């Protein structure tokens, strides 16, 4: 079967469907062409941009068994979008070169526009449609104009009333769109109807609007060799400059930068303390101060990670991870992000399948609620020859690989990213921050295969992280996967104008529809 980011296209070869193809690609989807009836039956979502004449189209569909497959597909209420003739073919019959029998799904006869009403035929032009019921894909277009080009039309009748989702007037009222369950069809051309049309296609494609996903600015923070807490950024997790001094890369002050990203429009801010107080979290007063100061002026959710685990200080006093988390919450954090400790908990859980309730993850989640607990996963690709060679979930990429967890970004652990994600979800994680060591700091885009694997596997929100290098990378990962948010670091540190563009998409998402496709 085609993947979740693939659209199956029924192009029976009667005309130009290039614009439909371009629109689908522009929205970030791949196209799989129907070659045989089975391709229809196995489609995740099917678009049928009918072009040409009714009789000729039905002849082709009947000859190669496609008509039967189409009927079965729609009877099973599978996602379908017919365009223009793709709507008309769903009716009982058409008068075009006929009468000719159609697919017979919707009662009614498709007939020629009545020019005695004083209208020119064919109907070519932009018209507003009147929504008559919840159409799912046409919401918000009432009163907006869409592009029509056709001589034949189906008329609303008592028999087909339940199918009609919108009508249009051109000398007479005709059916502009139908919907029943997941079966949609439109008489107009969404692929030629500007941003209104693209938003219709996007809704059908089930892609939550890319900019609906949150964009999160991440600040990796650590103490440098002089003892200052600075924002740094690694290259595949290596944060030291490639200079003889080999210093920790210093990109600025955490509170200032967080404030800046908030002003620019970031949906959330994450601080990851990547080494600073790993061995003595509550001793790191500067980090707690950073949270206190930041939360005075930043009014979006703040997440803090790094070093959340039980520990015993130099005087032998034991601190539970819950105390560490509580201190973070008191200082202004809304969520804590757990790395290594969640890996140990998941490993133990996978061995015994017993939830002890004692891990940091479980305890914090029980006290503060799972919405306050993020688990940070740091996978690194491991290439395998045969999927059977390893006990972990393997995905086929351009080159095959499975993703192994690297603990807190440091030591490799014998657990796959997929297995880890499933386990921490069961243990009470409310969100997964999915990094990718191979992509970190590379600016070549998110690891879409990895993000898809994990975001399809769990029911909790997944934050895609690592690799953003252009504004388009955000919409790319959000359209092609089930990720709820995209997080980045380097791209924001490098260019202020990028921040404005990336975050502005959130603020003006409808106006940015065309921009995203350019
Ligand atoms: O194990 O609970 O103490 O948590 C340690 C935390 O520190 C984990 O969340 C782990 O991801 C993080 N971490 C550890 N070492 C590093 C490092 O960089 N050397 N940084 C590190 C993680 C990775 C991302 C980064 C994205 C986006 N940072 O969060 O911000 O990859 O980067 P990009 O947009 O520039 O590509 P524990």
Verify whether ligand 1 is closer than 6 Å to residue 468 (CB atom).
yes
Verify whether ligand 1 is closer than 6 Å to residue 447 (CB atom).
no
Cα 460 to ligand 1 centre (Å): 20
* Better-predicted residue by pLDDT, 212 or 225: 225
Cα 459 to ligand 1 centre (Å): 23
Q: Do 150 and 122 form a contact (C-beta atoms < 8 A)?
A: yes
Verify whether ligand 1 is closer than 6 Å to residue 234 (CB atom).
yes
Q: Which of the residue ranges 19-28, 219-228, 363-372 has the most confident prediction, judged by mean pLDDT?
A: 363-372
Where along the chain do its domains lie?
6-207, 211-517
Helix (H, G, I), strand (E, B) or coil at 141: coil
Query: In the chain, pLDDT over 90 holds for what percent of residues?
Result: 53
Verify whether ligand 1 is closer than 6 Å to residue 265 (CB atom).
no
Q: pLDDT band at 141, cuts 50/70/90?
A: confident
Q: pLDDT band at 218, cuts 50/70/90?
A: very high
Verify whether ligand 1 is closer than 6 Å to residue 490 (CB atom).
yes
Verify whether ligand 1 is closer than 6 Å to residue 378 (CB atom).
yes
**Class of the domain covering 6-207:** alpha beta
Cα 319 to ligand 1 centre (Å): 24
Q: Do 447 and 466 form a contact (C-beta atoms < 8 A)?
A: yes
Closest atom of ligand 1 to 435 CA is 31
HEC assignment per residue over 240-257 = ECCCCCCCECCCCCHHHH
> How many CB atoms are located within 10 Å of the residue 362 CB?
21
User: What does the angle CA 187 – CA 189 – CA 191 come to, to the nearest 5 degrees?
Assistant: 150
Counting every residue, how long is the chain? 518
Verify whether ligand 1 is closer than 6 Å to residue 272 (CB atom).
yes
Q: Which of 191, 341, 347, 476 is catalytic?
A: 191
Q: Do 346 and 442 form a contact (C-beta atoms < 8 A)?
A: no
Q: How many C-alpha atoms does 295 have within 13 Å on its Cβ side?
A: 20
**CA-closest candidate to residue 325, choices 313, 307, 342, 312:** 307
pLDDT at 285: 60
Tokens, residue 491: 């791209």
Q: pLDDT band at 208, cuts 50/70/90?
A: very low
Nearest-CA residue for atom 34 of ligand 1: 488
Cα 279 to ligand 1 centre (Å): 17
Q: Which alpha helices (H) appear in 34-127, and where do they start and end? A: 37-41, 54-63, 66-75, 85-88
Cα 271 to ligand 1 centre (Å): 9
Verify whether ligand 1 is closer than 6 Å to residue 337 (CB atom).
yes
Verify whether ligand 1 is closer than 6 Å to residue 281 (CB atom).
no
Residue 327 Cα distances to 167, 272, 331, 355, 497, angstroms = 59, 16, 6, 25, 35
Cα 207 to ligand 1 centre (Å): 28
Closest atom of ligand 1 to 307 CA is 3
The ipTM value here is 0.97
What's the start-to-end Cα distance of the chain, in Å?
30
| H or E, element range at 420 | helix 417-427
* Better-predicted residue by pLDDT, 403 or 193: 193
* Rounded (to 5) percent helix, strand, coil in the chain: 35, 25, 40
Q: Which of 92, 220, 268, 472 is catalytic?
A: 220
Verify whether ligand 1 is closer than 6 Å to residue 37 (CB atom).
no
Tokens, residue 218: 């991440």
pLDDT at 283: 58
Nearest-CA residue for atom 18 of ligand 1: 237
What is the rounded average pLDDT of the residues 34-54? 90
Given a cut of 70, whether residue 150 has pLDDT beyond it is yes
Cα dihedral 339/345/350/351 (nearest 10)? 130
Q: What is the pLDDT of residues 273-303, one digit of tens each?
A: 886 445 555 555 678 889 999 999 888 889 9
Closest atom of ligand 1 to 493 CA is 35
Q: How many C-alpha atoms does 235 have within 13 Å on its Cβ side?
A: 6
Cα 23 to ligand 1 centre (Å): 36
**CA-closest candidate to residue 271, choices 337, 205, 208:** 337
User: What does the angle CA 360 – CA 364 – CA 368 come to, to the nearest 5 degrees?
Assistant: 175
Cα 468 to ligand 1 centre (Å): 14
CA dist., res. 5 & res. 446, Å (int): 15
CA dist., res. 447 & res. 2, Å (int): 19
**CA-closest candidate to residue 397, choices 450, 465, 437:** 450
Q: pLDDT band at 507, cuts 50/70/90?
A: very low
Verify whether ligand 1 is closer than 6 Å to residue 340 (CB atom).
yes
Asked about 391 being catalytic, the answer comes back as: no
Q: What is the pLDDT of residues 300-344, one digit of tens each?
A: 889 999 989 988 877 888 889 999 999 999 998 999 999 999 999
pLDDT at 348: 97
Closest atom of ligand 1 to 218 CA is 30
HEC assignment per residue over 489-501 = CHHHHHCHHHHHH
At how many degrees (to 10) do helices 285-297 and 254-264 cross?
30
The CATH architecture annotation of domain 211-517 reads Alpha-Beta Barrel (3.20)
Cα 409 to ligand 1 centre (Å): 6
CA dist., res. 72 & res. 95, Å (int): 25
Asked about 220 being catalytic, the answer comes back as: yes
**Mutation choice for ligand 1 from 345, 408, 485, CB with most ligand atoms inside 8 A:** 408
**CA-closest candidate to residue 470, choices 434, 499, 510, 450:** 499
* Better-predicted residue by pLDDT, 250 or 52: 250
Verify whether ligand 1 is closer than 6 Å to residue 373 (CB atom).
no
CA dist., res. 290 & res. 252, Å (int): 13
Q: What is the pLDDT of residues 57-107, one digit of tens each?
A: 999 999 999 999 999 999 988 899 999 999 999 999 999 988 999 999 999
Query: How far is C-alpha 297 from the chain's CA centre?
Result: 30
Q: Comparing 26-30, 74-78, 98-102, 428-432, which segment has the lowest mean pLDDT?
A: 26-30
């Amino acid at each position: 079967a085609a993947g979740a980011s693939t659209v199956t296209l029924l192009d029976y070869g009667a005309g130009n469907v290039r614009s439909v193809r371009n629109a689908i690609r522009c929205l970030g989807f791949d196209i799989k062409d129907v070659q045989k009836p089975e391709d229809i039956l196995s489609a995740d979502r099917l678009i049928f941009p009918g072009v040409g004449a009714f009789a000729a189209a039905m002849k082709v569909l009947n000859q190669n068994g496609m008509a039967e497959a189409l009927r079965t597909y729609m009877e099973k209420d599978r996602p379908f979008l017919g365009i223009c003739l793709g709507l008309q073919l769903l009716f009982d019959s058409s008068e075009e070169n006929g009468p000719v029998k159609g697919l017979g799904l919707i009662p009614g006869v498709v007939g020629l526009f009545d020019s005695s009403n004083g209208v020119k035929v064919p109907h070519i032009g932009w018209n507003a449609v009147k929504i008559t019921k919840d159409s799912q894909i046409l919401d918000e277009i009432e009163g907006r104009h869409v592009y029509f080009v056709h001589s034949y039309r189906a008329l609303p009748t008592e028999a087909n009333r339940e199918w009609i989702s919108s009508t249009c007037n051109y000398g007479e009222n005709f059916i502009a769109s139908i919907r029943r369950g997941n079966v949609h069809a439109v008489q107009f051309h969404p692929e030629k109807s500007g941003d209104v049309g693209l938003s219709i296609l996007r809704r059908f494609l089930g892609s939550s609007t890319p900019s609906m996903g949150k964009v999160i600015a991440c600040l990796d923070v650590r103490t440098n060799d002089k003892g200052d807490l600075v924002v740094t950024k690694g290259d595949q997790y290596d944060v030291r400059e490639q200079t003889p001094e080999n210093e920790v890369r210093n990109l600025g002050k955490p509170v200032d930068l967080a404030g800046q990203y908030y002003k620019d429009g970031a949906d959330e801010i994450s601080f990851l303390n990547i080494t600073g107080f790993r061995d003595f979290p509550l001793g790191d007063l500067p980090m707690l101060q950073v949270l206190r100061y930041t939360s005075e002026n930043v009014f979006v959710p703040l997440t803090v990670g790094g070093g959340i685990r039980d520990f015993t200080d130099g005087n032998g006093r034991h601190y539970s991870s819950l105390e560490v988390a509580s201190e973070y919450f008191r200082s202004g954090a809304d969520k804590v992000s757990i790395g290594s400790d969640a890996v140990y908990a998941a490993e133990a859980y996978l061995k015994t399948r017993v939830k002890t309730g004692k891990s940091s993850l479980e305890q914090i989640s029980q006290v503060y609620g799972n919405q306050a607990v993020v688990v940070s996963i740091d996978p690194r690709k491991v290439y395998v020859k045969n999927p059977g060679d390893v006990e972990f979930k393997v995905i086929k990429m351009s080159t095959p690989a499975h993703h192994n967890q690297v603990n807190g970004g440091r030591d490799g652990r014998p657990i796959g990213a997929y297995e880890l994600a499933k386990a921490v979800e069961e243990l009470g994680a409310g969100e997964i921050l999915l990094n990718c060591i191979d992509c970190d700091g590379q600016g070549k885009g998110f690891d879409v295969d990895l993000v898809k694997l994990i975001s399809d596997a769990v029911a909790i929100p997944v934050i895609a992280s690592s690799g953003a290098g252009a504004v388009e990378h955000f919409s790319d990962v959000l359209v092609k996967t089930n990720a709820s948010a995209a997080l980045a670091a380097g791209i924001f540190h490098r260019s202020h104008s990028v921040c404005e563009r990336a975050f502005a998409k959130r603020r003006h998402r409808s106006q940015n529809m065309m921009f995203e496709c350019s």
